[in-house]
Amino acid sequence: MKNIKLAVIPGDGIGKEVVPASLKVLDTIADIHGGMKFEYEQFEYGCDYYLKHGSMMAPDGMERLGQSDSVFLGAVGDASKVPDHISLWGLLLKIRREFELEINVRPAKVFSGIRSPLVNPKDFDIMVVRENSEGEYSSVGGRMYQGDDEIAIQNNVFSKRATKQAMEHAFRLAGVRRGHVTSATKSNGIFHSMPFWDEVFKETAAGFEGIETASRHIDALAASFVTHPERYDVVVASNLFGDILTDVGAAIMGSIGIAPSANLNLNGRHPSMFEPVHGSAPDIVGRGIANPIGQIWTAKMLLDHHGEEEMGRLLLETMESVTADGFLTPDVGGTNTMDEVTEQIIGRLKR
Ligand code: GGG
């Protein structure tokens, strides 16, 4: 029996709703598989934990999470309780950094039955590889003076090692997809880091024969996702650009509630972490209408990561059959609850 040990962090807001729904789906997958079992350890880390203990996780939190095969996380942040930069740096970004989760893979495509702003939604099938550990998400800088003279300085950090690692991952993915990588740059306006980014992209591309490349400024690229989605296969982007681009991608998919992501550790020293793109959505907490698909698609990425691609494929096809038949939560124009959509997925998996 293959035993997969998951550290489960529902986190904040709708994370506490979509994570339990997704664990039911994972248990169903394990039953169908017959030779696989998930073992869950729950961690109540998040903003409520902060209010009680003064930190987003326990002092031995990283050590305990590190004993799992993977981390399965819901959402982090509730600005009514804890300032967002404290909650993000105290939990989500802490795990990304300390577990060296330097690559964030975010697939995006439009499911049948879901309305998209695109004329031809089937043209949109992309994979964004986001550098996940540095770039614009940096704590280097400071604030000086006060009142009208106050200034804030924020330094971005781009290392050749992390930049190249993200780019190489993008090229490897393109090799098993449609053979094209687009680099998201802004080297006309950002004087040091983005010309460096372009140079590393050229150097990396030279090592991957047969993959076509393009380089586009982030502003034009974001617009072109909407106007010419067929141009894109794999897109590699810095931390902030990748985050923004994947929100554009999520809007094209019909809702941010659908978008999944995997934070990958490539050196085998720590577990990888799987989390949907969406946040805690405090506005819909407790109403039972959160879209479970982002978290369940994230579970599919976890299955792939643990070598269960066939189960992953079955799960993706089942989710799409559910949306195609019109079982949709309100964020994508439907009237179904989270439980109804989840039960449809589970029921069809069991058929
Ligand atoms: N699903 C995890 C979550 O709550 N993400 C919200 C967020 O603000 N993420 C920022 C990021 O991915 O960098």
What string of pLDDT tens digits covers the 351 residues of the chain? 999 999 999 999 999 999 999 999 999 999 999 999 999 999 999 999 999 999 999 999 999 999 999 999 999 999 999 999 999 999 999 999 999 999 999 999 999 999 999 989 999 999 999 999 999 999 999 999 999 999 999 999 999 999 999 999 999 999 999 999 999 999 999 999 999 999 999 999 999 999 999 999 999 999 999 999 999 999 999 999 999 999 999 999 999 999 999 999 999 999 999 999 999 999 999 999 999 999 999 999 999 999 999 999 999 999 999 999 999 999 999 999 999 999 999 999 999
How many whole angstroms separate alpha carbon 23 and alpha carbon 211? 38
Rounded CA-CA distance 299/70 in Å is: 11
Calculate the CA 226 to chain-centre distance: 20
Contact 77 CB / ligand 1 (< 6 Å): yes
Q: Judge if 120 and 88 occupy the same domain.
A: no
The verdict on 91 and 220 lying in the same domain is: no
Note whether 249 and 129 are same-domain residues.
Answer: yes
Half-sphere exposure of 19 (CA within 13 A, CB side): 26
In this structure, are 246 and 130 located in the same domain? yes
Count of the separate structural domains present in the chain: 2
Question: Quick one: which atom of ligand 1 is closest to the CA of 75?
Answer: 4
Amino acid identity of residue 237, one-letter, is A
In a domain, 182, yes or no: yes
Structural domain boundaries enclosing 56 = 1-102+261-351
318 and 242 assigned to the same domain: no
* Residue ID of nearest Cα to ligand 1 atom 11: 243
Rounded to the nearest angstrom, the distance between the alpha carbon of 286 and the centre of ligand 1 is 20
Taking alpha carbons only, the member of 126, 106, 115, 108 closest to residue 254 is 115
- Ligand 1 touching residue 75 (CB < 6 A): yes
The verdict on the CB of residue 76 being under 6 Å from ligand 1 is yes
Q: Side-chain half-sphere of 266: how many Cα atoms within 13 Å?
A: 13
Judgement on whether residues 307 and 231 belong to the same structural domain of the protein: no
Q: Considering the domain boundaries, does residue 124 fall inside one?
A: yes
- Say whether both 69 and 93 belong to one domain: yes
Q: Which residues of 61-81 are buried (b: 16+ CB within 10 A; e: fewer)?
A: beeebbebbbbbbbbbbbeee
Query: Is 325 a member of any domain?
Result: yes
Kindly report the backbone phi and psi dihedral angles of residue 132, in degrees, each rounded to the nearest multiple of 5, phi listed first: -115, 0
Ligand 1 atom showing the smallest separation from residue 261 Cα = 1
Ligand 1 pocket test: which of 45, 56, 92, 293 has the largest number of ligand atoms within 8 Å of its C-beta?
92
Is 192 exposed, middle or buried, given 0-12, 13-18 or 19+ CB atoms closer than 10 A?
exposed
The domain boundary residue, chosen from 187, 219, 253: 253
> Residue of the nearest CA to atom 8 in ligand 1?
279
- Determine whether the shortest distance from the Cβ of 243 to ligand 1 is under 6 A: yes
